[in-house]
Amino acid sequence: MSRDGGPAAAPGTAAAGPRDVAAPVRLGPRSVAALALVSLIGVGAFCWPLLAAHGSSVAAHSTDAPWLFAALLPLLVAVVIATIADTGMDAKAVAMLGMLAAAGAALRPLGAGTAGIEPMFFLMVLSGRVLGPGFGFTLGSLTMFASALLTGGVGPWMPFQMLAMGWVTMGAGLLPGARTLRGRAELALLAVYGAVSAVAYGTVMNLQGWPYIGGLASDIAYDPHAPLATDLARFAAYCLTTSMGWDLPRAVLTAVLAFTLGPPILRALRRATRRAAFAAPAAFAPPGDDRPS
């Protein structure tokens, strides 16, 4: 028996180790192209208030958010389809995707957004770390979609949340040392990334909603006729005065949970990935080879 409770390696073969773990969803050419397209559109959707020409009437675009909702969701689905077409995502990978998405969606209502207490972030970071960027983007997007259905949070903001969480989880899969870094060094890396990504998530979501919120004080409101430097200063003030009280607790909680609960969850995810053998090629024996001798 191996140390993790699984069957020992066959004689003459190397035991499965960190270098033998294969991500169930890898980024192939078509999935990279679809992901790049979704990300490009997403960056434009988030940043259009800062990218618009000086003096333009961009405030009129506030009614376009529902149309963006309808446009981005098919593109997100296209990422999943392209990934499946590229890598042959099997039933085991789909099952793990569904299990982790359900777990993340169940964790989200626990904090109910109170003071930024959102425990789903640490699970997304750990899952993306073990299962790779392609699986991570798919998992983050689907988890946010499922949690929105669970909590009744469906609206024009949902595709932005799906994109932002997909980027957070994908980023964890792109961190260095995925097959070599272990122990406290890896936990520290994940804790720091979890804290930074939690604040970044809140910041980009602020950017999504900032132009549409009326009744703000004049020194933090979005002004479509102001130069870029002025709007950047207003946006920084908006983040500090409206959401930093949520972003910082979310960052601290994500870092603490990643550092304290990381070891058993990382071991469980890596053990499940090894046993599932997502990348193992199918082999077909000639008829009769399975008959008892």
Give pLDDT tens digits for 229-247: 888 888 888 888 888 888 8
What is the C-alpha separation between 264 and 93, in angstroms, rounded?
Answer: 21
Measured in whole angstroms, how far is the alpha carbon of residue 77 from the centre of its chain? 15
Q: What angle do CA 189, 193, 194 make, to 5 degrees?
A: 115
pLDDT in tens, 153-206: 777 778 888 889 999 999 999 998 877 888 899 999 999 999 999 999 999 988
Q: Could you tell me how far CA 87 lies from the centroid of its own chain?
A: 19
- pTM comes to 0.78
Task: Return the CATH number of the domain spanning residue range 23-276.
Answer: 1.10.1760.20
- For the chain, 293 residues long, the average pLDDT of each consecutive 10-residue run is 42 42 64 81 79 58 59 71 65 82 85 70 93 86 86 77 90 87 92 94 86 68 78 87 86 93 92 70 53 49
Of residues 129, 142, 133, 164, the one with CA closest to residue 94: 142
